């Protein structure tokens, strides 16, 4: 696996491509009581032009109360079909931005917020990445495993994919 660190617009483009492809990731917050990560699955609403990842969530969630105490956020994405992975650490910004709520509202949200877009519990979460690392294979899991096995037997290096840091 080769290393390809990306910066600025290339890093944002890679982040956007991977998050949009994987969609659902594990969002981690850090409760003060334990200090351990608290992770929940979340579907992104958007990755903007600066690389921020946007979500809608509820004030009744543990995640919301954790972000009131500590703004650190982690996002972990994986696509086992393509054997691609993404790890992001950053900071959370929580708001009641009505324009964003309107923009991101969809049928799926109705299941979470019975009172619709005006539900007083609904919040907008913006995760601003501070650091990220990706693993992106050029082929699917089976082909990657075969390449690794061939490399182990023959001693020859293979180009099974790329990994690197994303610098914003």
Give one DSSP letter per residue of 13-80, joined into a string.
HHHHHHHHHH-EEEEEE--TTT-S-EEEEEE-SEE-TTS-EEEEEETTSHHHHHHHH--EEEEEEEET
pLDDT given at position 35: 85
CATH number of 2-167: 2.30.110.10
Mean pLDDT of the chain: 90
Residues of the chain with pLDDT under 50: 140-144, 147, 149
Output phi, psi for 46, to 5 deg. Answer: -165, 150
pLDDT score of 83: 87
Quote the pTM value.
0.87
75 contacts: CB under 8 Å, gap ≥ 6: 25, 26, 27, 28, 53, 86, 87, 88, 90, 127
Domain map (residue ranges) of the chain: 2-167
**Contact (CB, 8 A) for 151 and 114:** no
The Cα 135–Cα 117 span in angstroms is: 37
Give the pLDDT confidence score for residue 1 in this predicted structure.
Answer: 76
Q: Check residue 158 and give its pLDDT.
A: 57
């Amino acid at each position: 696996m080769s290393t390809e660190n990306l910066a600025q617009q290339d890093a944002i483009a890679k982040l956007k491509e991977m998050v949009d492809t994987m969609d659902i990731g594990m969002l981690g917050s850090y409760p003060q009581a334990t200090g351990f990560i608290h992770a929940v699955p979340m579907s992104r609403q958007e990755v903007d032009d600066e690389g921020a990842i946007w979500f809608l969530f509820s004030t009744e969630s543990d995640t919301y109360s954790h972000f009131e105490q500590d703004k650190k956020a982690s996002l972990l994405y994986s696509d086992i079909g393509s054997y691609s992975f993404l790890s992001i650490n950053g900071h959370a910004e929580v708001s009641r931005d009505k324009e964003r709520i309107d923009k991101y509202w969809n049928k799926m949200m109705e299941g979470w917020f019975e009172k619709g877009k005006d539900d007083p519990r609904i919040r907008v979460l913006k995760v601003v990445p501070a650091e990220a690392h990706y693993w992106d294979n050029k082929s699917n899991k089976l082909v990657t495993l075969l390449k690794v096995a061939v490399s182990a037997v023959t001693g020859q290096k293979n180009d099974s994919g790329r990994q690197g840091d994303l610098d914003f």
